[in-house]
């Protein structure tokens, strides 16, 4: 594990590394029980495997990295892959390899060469960089050095990453309609709700936050649910993910990570698990890009290390935003229409972080919370563009 200046010297754009990557087990991974599956808190399962990544963004204390996969040694021919979102990656001194049908399917990005860290490093011919997915990876995790992207190819990976993650609306995302989705717990709603524009002119400066009781916190939207006994039956796989994971959808999901306070089963790796709340900022093919909603242990942006200018309060639609002179929020609040009343009130310390994005697969178990009201969607977009800028540290 690298710390301090050593970490910043290692975690630079173009660095290729491998690590034990842990994520919530998807529907496809739940059936077979193997050494890769760990049963963790909330009755959920985490899927762990050694994965390779290439760094495309360096931030304060963490990086964004795109995954390198072989897709079961089939390259982008594997069902569900979008070839145009990938490029071949190979070791310097060898030739890039494509399979018959990949280029015809849309694999048109230039191959990327990697200078290996040592002679023992190998790269399977089916290895592909997926630019449409990126993961925030903390600098304090254990990693293995694989090598570095050749200097002549650094501009290519940055260009491809930014093209696939421009976060500009396409035609399907420019207008907001009530999403139609269904699970057995939350059937399709028949109500096409509309909202008045009364909230859009509200000026939000120094909010006053009134703490809520421990009883209320246990079910509040946005609370960091570490250590809470939330039954796994509350989380389900969405039957129609394309309809559910629309921009503005707010949901919670068990979120395992290889860091922080850890729990361990009898055979699996150390895993930190909490119930994380997300809002969709960009739907994509098979997954979505999301922004996290946190309370930061009930401190909001007063917590040390949290940058207030990158956050906004989340407020239930129809409620008055509470104010607190000690929290220097400059962004106006984002209003949330709660659709699932059983999750409890919106925690008054809930904050959207516009500077950090996460990739969430469409087949994860989730619990619906609601959606950002139409009047706040444009504001959310603008704040995201302000805070999430390529190359910003």
Per-residue confidence (pLDDT) for residue 212, from 0 to 100? 29
Q: Are residues 232 and 373 in the same domain?
A: yes
Residue 124 lies in a domain: yes
Per-residue confidence (pLDDT) for residue 375, from 0 to 100? 94
Q: Are residues 275 and 342 in the same domain?
A: yes
Count of the separate structural domains present in the chain: 2
Last residue of some domain: 164, 185, 212? 164
Domain that residue 364 falls in: 197-387
Per-residue confidence (pLDDT) for residue 39, from 0 to 100? 54
Q: Are residues 205 and 323 in the same domain?
A: yes
Q: Beta strands of the chain (E only): which ranges? A: 15-24, 37-39, 45-58, 62-69, 86-91, 112-116, 128-130, 135-138, 144-149, 236-237, 249-257, 272-283, 287-294, 311-316, 334-338, 351-353, 358-361, 365-372
Ordered mean pLDDT values, 10 residues apiece, the chain (393 residues)? 78 96 62 52 66 95 95 95 98 97 97 98 98 93 95 98 75 43 40 34 28 35 49 78 96 76 46 86 93 94 93 93 81 95 90 94 92 96 87 54
Beta strands 128-130 and 311-316, pairing class = unpaired
Residue 232 lies in a domain: yes
CATH code (residue 347): 2.30.30.110
Residue 182 lies in a domain: no
Residue 158 lies in a domain: yes
Q: Are residues 30 and 78 in the same domain?
A: yes
Please state, in angstroms and as integers, the Cα–Cα distance from residue 168 to each residue in 162, 174, 265, following that order.
11, 9, 42
Q: Are residues 208 and 93 in the same domain?
A: no
Per-residue confidence (pLDDT) for residue 178, from 0 to 100? 44
CB atoms within 10 A of CB 378: 11
Of residues 137, 135, 140, the one with CA closest to residue 6: 140
Q: Are residues 221 and 138 in the same domain?
A: no
Q: Are residues 201 and 95 in the same domain?
A: no
Q: Are residues 29 and 111 in the same domain?
A: yes
Q: Are residues 267 and 370 in the same domain?
A: yes
Residue 306 lies in a domain: yes
Residue 192 lies in a domain: no
Q: What is the DSSP letter of 320?
A: P
Per-residue confidence (pLDDT) for residue 5, from 0 to 100? 77
Q: Are residues 87 and 154 in the same domain?
A: yes
Total residues found in the chain within this entry:
393
Residue 213 lies in a domain: yes
Residue 176 lies in a domain: no
């Amino acid at each position: 594990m690298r710390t301090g200046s050593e970490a910043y010297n290692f975690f630079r754009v173009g660095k290729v590394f491998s690590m034990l990557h842990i994520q919530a087990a998807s529907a496809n991974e739940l059936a077979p029980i193997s050494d890769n599956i760990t049963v963790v808190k909330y009755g959920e399962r985490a899927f762990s495997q050694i994965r390779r990544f290439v760094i495309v963004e360096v931030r304060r204390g963490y990086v964004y990295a795109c995954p390198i996969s072989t897709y079961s040694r089939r390259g982008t021919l594997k069902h569900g892959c979008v070839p145009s979102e990938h490029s071949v990656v190979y070791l310097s001194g060898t030739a890039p390899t494509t399979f018959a049908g990949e280029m015809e399917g849309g694999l048109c990005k230039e191959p990327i060469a990697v200078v290996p860290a040592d002679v023992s490093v190998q790269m399977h011919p089916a290895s592909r960089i997926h630019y449409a997915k990126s993961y925030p990876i903390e600098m304090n995790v254990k990693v293995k050095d694989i090598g570095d992207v050749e200097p002549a190819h650094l501009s290519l990976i940055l260009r491809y990453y930014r093209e696939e993650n421009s976060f500009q609306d396409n035609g399907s995302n420019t207008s907001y309609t009530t999403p139609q989705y269904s699970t057995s717990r939350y059937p399709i709603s028949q109500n096409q709700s509309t909202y008045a524009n009364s909230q859009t002119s509200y000026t939000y400066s120094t909010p006053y936050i009134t703490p809520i009781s421990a009883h209320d916190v246990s079910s509040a939207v946005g609370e960091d649910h570490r250590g809470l006994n939330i039954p796994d039956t509350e989380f389900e796989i969405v039957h129609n993910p394309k309809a559910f994971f629309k921009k503005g959808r707010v949901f919670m999901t068990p979120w395992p990570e290889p860091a922080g306070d850890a729990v361990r089963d009898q055979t699996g790796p150390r895993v930190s698990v909490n119930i994380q709340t997300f809002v969709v900022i960009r739907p994509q093919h098979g997954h979505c890009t999301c922004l996290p909603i946190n309370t930061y242990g009930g401190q909001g942006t007063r917590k040390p290390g949290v940058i207030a200018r990158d956050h906004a309060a989340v407020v239930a639609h129809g409620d008055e935003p509470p104010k607190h002179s000690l929290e220097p929020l400059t962004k106006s609040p984002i209003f949330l229409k709660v659709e699932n009343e059983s999750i409890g009130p919106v925690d008054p310390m809930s904050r959207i972080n516009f500077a950090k994005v996460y990739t969430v697969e469409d087949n994860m178990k989730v619990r619906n919370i609601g959606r950002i009201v139409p009047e706040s969607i444009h504001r959310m977009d603008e704040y995201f563009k302000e805070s999430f800028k390529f190359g910003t540290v």
